[in-house]
Amino acid sequence: MKTPPRLQSLMDEGLIDSVVRQLMSGKEAEAYVVRCGDETRCAKVYKEATHRSFRQAVDYTENRRVKNSRQARAMAKGTRFGRAAQEAAWQSAEVQALYKMADAGVRVPTPYNFHDGVLLMELVVDADGDAAPRINDVELTADEARSHHAFLIKEVVRMLCAGTIHGDLSEFNVLLGADGPVIIDLPQAVDAAGNNHAQAMLLRDVNNLRGFFGQFAPELLKTHYGAEMWDLFQRGLLSTETVLTGKFARDERAVDLTGVMREVDDARAEEAARLVRMKTGA
């Protein structure tokens, strides 16, 4: 096929040799099957901010750092340069997350290069060597649903142990490759320890998986893996070797309001006494 304009620079640099076909067109990017020497890979071309529908919600970008102070000021002011810098930071967030997750052993497409707004990565294929389908396009048996769900829960744990939450994980962001599920689309990934919305995003990710696979294996609908793993993570007890049960009992014991107020009053009294001592020099 004719080379799309956004891929021409990669052709010029010798990063790709030819474009085979368009693979998909989504809200954030377009993907193409490309040839690189003897290998077939995937080129993800990010759409410009004015041409895509996904908004860079503050919930996702919270705590993301920009090293260049000039860029940070421009981004805060919303100048033209700042918007361009923000767009570049948004794109690089997925690249960084992809490399980080690959290093952590999470099953994601292997990243190869990022050039001129294009991410060059592994083309995930099925058992026949064709581009792998999204898992929402596959009719699963109950056993397959249980197996894939269990695998993805372990991958979510692996991501969390590496300090990252996908932020938009669902059946639409999982490919069913020849060796099982592969997690894709990471521009919304958030810092598990530095984002105030991390817990809510983790629970949403896990609940999305529960809801989808629960269609085929209804017993999964009664599980609470998200709450269980977050509780262990907060207490420093979660590891990639942790065996989860899917059960989580919330502490619903009544709060001793009288006792709490007594402690507050005692603290106030101690502070008042301290201020008096400071004034009198006692």
**pLDDT (tens digit, 9 = 90+) per residue, 201-258?**
999 999 999 999 999 999 999 999 999 999 999 999 999 999 999 999 876 555 566 6
Q: How many residues comprise the chain?
A: 282
Cβ pair 42, 23 in contact under 8 A: yes
φ, ψ of residue 146 to 5 degrees: the values are -65, -45
Q: Which residues contact 126 (CB under 8 A, 6 or more apart)?
A: 132, 133, 176, 177, 178
Indicate the helix (H) or strand (E) that contains 265: helix 257-280
Q: Report the pLDDT value the prediction gives residue 72, as an integer from 0 to 100.
A: 43
Contacts 24+ apart (CB under 8 A), 116-119: 116/6, 116/9, 116/10, 117/6, 117/45, 117/46, 117/91, 118/6, 118/7, 118/9, 118/10, 118/43, 118/44, 118/45, 118/46, 119/43, 119/44, 119/46, 119/91, 119/94, 119/95
Architecture of domain 16-234: Orthogonal Bundle (1.10)
Cβ pair 216, 141 in contact under 8 A: yes
State the Cα–Cα distance between residues 105 and 84, nearest whole angstrom: 32
Q: What is the mean pLDDT of residues 5-10?
A: 94
Give 77-121 pLDDT, tens digit per residue: 555 544 555 555 566 788 999 999 999 999 999 999 999 889 999
Q: Report the pLDDT value the prediction gives residue 223, as an integer from 0 to 100.
A: 98
With 70 as the cut, is the pLDDT of residue 3 above it?
yes
214: its two tokens: 């629960």
At what angle are helices 225-234 and 198-213 packed, to 10 degrees? 150
Among 155, 139, 132, CA closest to 209: 155
Domain range list for the chain: 16-234
Q: Report the pLDDT value the prediction gives residue 66, as an integer from 0 to 100.
A: 43
Query: Residue written as tokens 């932020």?
Result: 167
Give 13-60 pLDDT, tens digit per residue: 999 999 999 999 887 889 999 999 999 999 999 887 544 444 445 454
Reported pTM:
0.77
Neighbours of 152 (CB within 10 A): 25
- Mean pLDDT, rounded, of the chain: 84
Cβ pair 131, 124 in contact under 8 A: yes
SS3 105: coil
Lowest mean pLDDT among 43-47, 146-150, 264-268: 264-268
